[in-house]
Structure 1
């Protein structure tokens, strides 16, 4: 993505990753600080990275790139029909409560949610590794 508004895209990336500094953003994006610095210097943020993050986090690409519309991606017609009314009501309640929070509390909650997601990913990897180790031990014993 090439635009004079690349700095605002990076600011929105900080917002959705719950980071405040360039160093913490580069860590959250899994790029080197030098890479992030070069993006800033060129006033360019990779479009593919923005798409990947938007998809992974359910963020609206319009909001991330342009600052327009809702932050969260709206459900497609197919997904909306699969959701139960209870789920929709719960999401709307959470969203309403979210809007009442100050920015510091939002960042804290977002950070906790991201940490929870990372822990789940690590637990899954650990489980996979334990399964592989068990299989290797069984092969070694035979």
Structure 2
């Protein structure tokens, strides 16, 4: 991709990957810092890289390349719903959003998720105990 907006594309790539520096972006993209520096010097970001990132992370190419429209790709209404593909897209979307959060927000969300899981486990245990008590009550009456 060749345009004067390559710096903006690199800034959006940093946003997607949750990175702040060129060094951390090159690590996230699994390229050398020299490669990233070369892209900046040529004012060029590989289109194929942008397409791959957009596809795997559920990001809109319009947003990534042009800064237009929503960041996340909208699902196709007419496309058949494949459960595994939908789950993968959903996971990619969640991961993309996760990477945009700062560390405090990530910790807060993780704590809330852990608490939700703990409560679900307790509810399951309570249901099992209630069933056991009910069966004991029936056996004592007979």
Q: TM-score range by the shorter chain?
A: 0.5 to 0.7
Match of 1:36 in 2: 36
RMSD across aligned positions (CA) = 3.1
Alpha-carbon distance, 1:32 to partner: 0.3
Distance (whole Å) between structure 1 residues aligned to residue 58 and residue 103 of structure 2: 16
- TM normalised by structure 1 equals 0.58
Alpha-carbon distance, 1:82 to partner: 3.2
| Residues 66 and 20 (structure 1), Cα distance of their counterparts in 2 relative to 1, 3 Å cut | same
Match of 2:78 in 1: 78
Alpha-carbon distance, 1:108 to partner: 5.8
1:47-106 alpha-carbon deviations (Å, 9 max, x no partner)? 000000000000000000000000000001234x6399xx9xxx8xxx9xx7xxxx7538
Larger Rg: 1 or 2? 2
Match of 1:62 in 2: 62
- TM normalised by structure 2 equals 0.58
Matched length: 96
CA contact (8 A) 2:6 2:43 kept: yes
Match of 1:11 in 2: 11
1:23-65 alpha-carbon deviations (Å, 9 max, x no partner)? 0000000100000000000000000000000000000000000
Distance (whole Å) between structure 2 residues aligned to residue 42 and residue 48 of structure 1: 16
Distance (whole Å) between structure 2 residues aligned to residue 105 and residue 73 of structure 1: 22
Distance (whole Å) between structure 2 residues aligned to residue 25 and residue 49 of structure 1: 13
CA contact (8 A) 1:6 1:43 kept: yes
| Structure 2 residues without counterparts, runs of 5 or longer | 111-142
CA contact (8 A) 2:18 2:101 kept: no
